[in-house]
Structure 1
Amino acid sequence: MRTLLGALALSLAIPLSLSSVAATASQADTSDPTTWKWQKTRVDKDQSFRGLDAVSATTAWIAGENITDDGGPGAVYRTTDGGKTWQDVRPDVGADLAFRDVEASSARVASVLAIGEGKASRVYRTTDGGKTWTKTFQNKSKDAFYNCIDFYPGGRTGLGVSDPVDGKFRIIRTTDSGRSWSVLKDSKMPAAFEGEFNFAASGTCLTITGRQAYMASGGAAARVYHSRNKGDTWSVTSQTIPATNAGGVFSLSFKNKRVGVAVGGDFEQPDNGTEAASYKRKGSAWKSGGDLGGYRSGSDWVDGGGRAFVAVGPTGSDVSTDGGRSWTTWSRTGYHSVVCVPGGCWASGSEGRTAWVATQ
């Protein structure tokens, strides 16, 4: 399944004429999301960037995997000048790892997640902007496959999630800002359906807002798991995005603990966005957000945008201005991941693509 996802992402890459230098500011009316325009940059054509995190409008990190026929190591890049230049700061680990998630707290401190079966799943951490890296976690279970990590506000506590082991999703936790990780007991984790799993598609199958942690699933069941106590116990609820062999919920994003959206679809049907979104209000069940412009792998709340959310996938980008109740496609350029900060949103995708759009 994970190999197929990576291969399909490469086959769906949309050819673009991109500059290696960031474009000038968009002239679109930022108050009208339907006029937004991505300012596109190509960083490394050999990489597919699914890992993305942004500290500000000037500082962002991307993490990827090599998509050439000959293979090679995944890369990590960092910009501190708004995307004008990107520095290759990848860990030198002597292995061709696939980096699918990056979580950064500053221009100097970040953790990256490599995915894969067994020992391929691991976490590296830097405190000097990527000059040096320390391996802080390596999976020891042959049945585990880690997909996403995220941190609570302040960055001291964080969680990571693996596909089910012995019938339950496996959670790791750090309480020292990512310096070390421990596998949590699963006695308070609801049983997964056989064939239920996470998607390592954008680093947002696990998301934390405030004191709340949420985790998305797909495959045999498309559900949302919720923890109020830093991963010790979990509840699970159904939502409206259909479950398929290659589909379900790919990404979760929240404005706060009361307002959140889920997006997804089926990555084997990238143009099909039917019923690929759902939304939630505090105390209510997940409700259908209707159709998207296609399958979407990443989403985020538009900081300062009221009830606006943005979703991205290999066939385009959508925006909701009503908290996920309805969506409008505003771009046909494909990206895997999106992260919004005050002033705008960053995106990353296949063939080394990154982008920025001003939203204020």
Structure 2
Amino acid sequence: MAPVSISLVLTAAASLVPLAAGSPIAAGDLLPKPVWTLTPTQTTQRFRGLAPVSASTAWVAGTNGTILRTEDGGATWISVGPSPSSSSSSSSSSPNTTSEEAPLEFRDVAAWSPTHAVALSIGEGTASRIYSTTDGGASWTLRFANADPAAFYDCLAFSETEPKHGMVMSDPVDGHFRLLETRDQGLSWQVVSSAESKMPAAREGESGFAASGTCLETKAGRWYLSGGGAAPFGRVFASADDGLTWDSVTETPIPATNASQGVFSVRFRDAAHGIVVGGDFQDPTRSTGTAGWSDDGGVTWSPSSEFPRGYRSGAAWVSGLCPSKGVVAAVAVGPTGSDFTLDGGKTWHGFDDGSFDAVECIGGRVCWASGEKGRVARLVF
């Protein structure tokens, strides 16, 4: 867990095209020109798991068991990942592990401070696991290891208002998306019964995407999960009662005619306004049908009038950007670049061509992004 020595990282600021005094806001009136500033992580691992805590503190989780943490805005990264032989909890669902096991493949991480985090590794069978740390990664405890060969866990999320309440989403098992739930901030996990939760049946071939940690979303006491791979369109499942029942599912405008297509990220800024992004990861430059928006809590979804410039695996809302002008901003990322919207997902504008998998924005209009070849970046609107 020695520090990774890197050069000084600069903070990027967005330049804004001024508005005429008193002019109404429109999609092109206020054009931030954000610039991602890469933070040299001194690694080539791929980071699909991303959890910023503040403008200065963030965690990333990725391939070959790699988890990094920074507390100085990316100027210094520390490697804090667990080994496959990390001790298990007393849960009977957590089998013993050995040092000969394959490296862990982390796809998601949640964090509340520089010391407290929960990380999800993915894979067939027992490769799907959940770890937690309360000492900044000096030690990790295995809290759950999947014992069902039919399950494949994709992403996790924790409630903003009830931080001890979290869920993890798996591809369908016995015809329904499977959920794990914790009520003690990741210390213990239980499978949620699809019958009790009234989870609608999955379509044949429908699954989630472990691409950015955002196939499961929670906002204002509501929960959402997304999928694809089953024609004709990717769908969003919803719970209006904090995850107790999931009796709502709606189609989005994002096509899902094969296993590589669908909704890769669903994000809500409040109980009403949401965006979805996705596309086809095997055809990453195809831009048609890569985003949609909702203003009724996901009851209906409309296609964007101007799409992101290709397949996008992750998206995040940017709060506080010129609220007096009614700007509703979000950022989307993918292997062919980044895009932003100022009108809640109706129109998207490209601003960077670098590859990223995940993006998260926090208070103070600060965004972080992570992806392949050790790429972790930061920008400030």
Q: CA deviation at 1:227?
A: 1.0
- Select the residue among 208, 230, 237 that pairs with 1:198: 208
Asked if 1:263 is matched to 2:245, the reply is: no
Deviations 1:254-307 (A, max 9, x none): 111111100000000111121200000025511001421110000000021241
- Select the residue among 364, 371, 377 that pairs with 1:349: 371
Unpaired stretches in structure 2, ≥5 consecutive residues:
18-29, 85-98, 322-326
Deviations 1:316-345 (A, max 9, x none): 000000001110001111100000012310
Q: Which residue of 2 aligns with 1:25?
A: 11
Asked if 1:229 is matched to 2:245, the reply is: no
Deviations 1:147-176 (A, max 9, x none): 000001241100010000111000000001
- Residue pairs, 1:184-333, within 5 angstroms: 184-187=192-195, 188-221=198-231, 222-234=234-246, 235-245=248-258, 246-282=260-296, 285-290=300-305, 291-305=307-321, 306-333=327-354
Q: Aligned pair count? A: 334
Q: Which residue of 2 aligns with 1:42?
A: 40
Deviations 1:2-23 (A, max 9, x none): xxxxxxxxxxxxxxxxx94353
Q: CA deviation at 1:42?
A: 2.8
Q: Which residue of 2 aligns with 1:102?
A: 109
- Select the residue among 66, 71, 79 that pairs with 2:70: 79
- Residue pairs, 1:91-240, within 5 angstroms: 91-93=82-84, 94=99, 95=101, 96-153=103-160, 154-187=162-195, 188-221=198-231, 222-234=234-246, 235-240=248-253
Q: Which residue of 2 aligns with 1:335?
A: 356
Query: In 1, Cα distance between the equivalents of 2:251 and 2:200?
Result: 13
SS at match of 1:169: strand
Does the 8 Å contact 1:34/1:330 carry over to 2? no
- Residue pairs, 1:52-91, within 5 angstroms: 52-65=50-63, 73-91=64-82
Does the 8 Å contact 1:34/1:328 carry over to 2? no
Query: In 2, Cα distance between the equivalents of 1:136 and 1:112?
Result: 10
SS at match of 1:47: coil
Does the 8 Å contact 1:202/1:297 carry over to 2? yes
SS at match of 1:351: helix
Does the 8 Å contact 1:289/1:326 carry over to 2? yes
SS at match of 1:241: strand
SS at match of 2:126: helix
The letter of the residue matching 1:231 is G
- Could you say if the C-alpha distance between residues 182 and 345 of structure 1 is closer, same or farther in structure 2, counting changes exceeding 3 Å? same
Query: In 1, Cα distance between the equivalents of 2:116 and 2:177?
Result: 28
Does the 8 Å contact 2:222/2:243 carry over to 1? no
> Which stretch has the larger CA shift, 92-101 or 295-304?
92-101
Deviations 1:154-208 (A, max 9, x none): 4110001000011100000000111000001011110001100000000000011
* TM-score normalised by length of structure 1: 0.90
Q: CA deviation at 1:27?
A: 5.1
Does the 8 Å contact 1:299/1:339 carry over to 2? yes
SS at match of 1:42: coil
Deviations 1:23-46 (A, max 9, x none): 323254157554111111231433
Query: Over alpha carbons, which structure has the higher Rg?
Result: 2
* TM-score normalised by length of structure 2: 0.85
Query: In 1, Cα distance between the equivalents of 2:7 and 2:250?
Result: 44
Query: In 1, Cα distance between the equivalents of 2:13 and 2:304?
Result: 30
Does the 8 Å contact 1:335/1:353 carry over to 2? yes
Unpaired stretches in structure 1, ≥5 consecutive residues:
1-18, 66-72
- Could you say if the C-alpha distance between residues 267 and 185 of structure 1 is closer, same or farther in structure 2, counting changes exceeding 3 Å? same
Determine what percentage of the aligned residue pairs are the same residue.
47
CA RMSD of aligned residues (A): 1.5
Query: In 1, Cα distance between the equivalents of 2:218 and 2:8?
Result: 30
- Could you say if the C-alpha distance between residues 50 and 261 of structure 1 is closer, same or farther in structure 2, counting changes exceeding 3 Å? same
